[in-house]
Amino acid sequence: MTVREFPTSGPGAVPDPEVAAMLATLDAGFPDVATMTAAEVRAAILGRRAPLQRLPDMRLARDLTIEGPGGDLPVRVYRPHGPETALPVIVFAHGGGFVFCDLDSHDEFCRSMAAGVGAVVVSVDYRLAPEHPAPAAHDDVLAALRWTAEHAGEYGGDPTRIALAGDSAGGNLAATVAIAVRDGGGPPVAAQILIYPVIDDDFDTESYRRFGTGHYNTTSAMRWYWRNYAPDGTDDVRLVPTRAATLAELPPAVVITAELDPPCSAGDAYAQRLASDGVPVRHRRYNGLFHGFLTIPSLKATATARTQVWAMIRDVLDQRVG
């Protein structure tokens, strides 16, 4: 089953005034990463971060350190309030161009997802580039998935309903780990949730041509992220999921894209290729919205979109898609 939904207005839409104002603020204030070192970018991003609120409230929010392929691997486990039933589990990889962000940067998003979906969320603080180039981040998320499959029950999770999820660079990691699990024999994954994923390093697409400047997540920034993450090239399915010979037999997918996002075309095409290879897909493109919008709770459009996305995730985890 393939469901493709493009709500709001048609392609080429002008953002509504609130979205346009937010986009202008982001474009004016986001660091010009292509002219900076990774350390400088991280400091600039941290300086812009809102204070950590630890909301919405969770029944459990616990920081743990698990064994990863490069040593200690921090994770944060969230369980929402609710009945004493085993919940589905989402292993989440944050965005940040493979170079920045951490557990705190996506804390509010993970809490909202846990509460909205009704799921245990395991957020992964994977190693960052350029200090740890690819496939370090991929390997860390795979290790976290394997740990989750073994320990989910200790935190009220159902080990038979584990999804991989990520936004931006994390969407890439969710997609590549889903392929690795398929090809490597488990643990089983019930779904892959790809939120405006950075699918590949092809910058010659319609969305890059149309929105590669003036929409804060620029083509020059994306090139910089890839140079830091993959200095030895990207001819490896652990880095770029489209390098896979086939996407058949991958878990059902939820793919979220944003029209004004340079990686949008690649995300749309990946959803279509998944469907063509027989994977159940629900794909929703948000026209008039931009990269990262789901992590900005102050935006009115975000509240509506989150409600829709959480419902899509619930559906796929309840096996109502496919």
pLDDT tens, residue by residue, 32-70: 999 999 999 999 999 988 889 999 999 999 999 999 999
Residue 216 has pLDDT above 90, yes or no: no
Residue 153 has pLDDT above 50, yes or no: yes
* CA 202, 207, 210, 212 torsion-angle sign: negative
Looking at residue 206, which CATH number applies to its domain? Answer: 3.40.50.1820
Catalytic residues: 168
- Mean pLDDT for 103-123 is 99
Domain count, the chain: 1
**Integer Cα distance of 63 and 268 in angstroms:** 35
State the pLDDT at residue 9.
40
Domain holding 94, by residue range, is 4-48+57-318
Q: Is this prediction's pTM over 0.85?
A: yes
- Mean pLDDT for 67-82 is 98
| Residue 88 preceded by cis peptide, ω within 30 | no
Distances (CA, A) of 270 to 160, 196, 210, 229: 26, 11, 19, 21
Confidence of residue 319 (pLDDT cuts 50, 70, 90): confident
What is the side-by-side order of every strand in the sheet holding 191-195? 2-5, 281-286, 253-258, 191-195, 157-167, 87-93, 120-124, 71-79, 60-68
- Give the residue, 255 or 49, on which the prediction is more confident: 255
- Helix/strand/coil for 1: coil
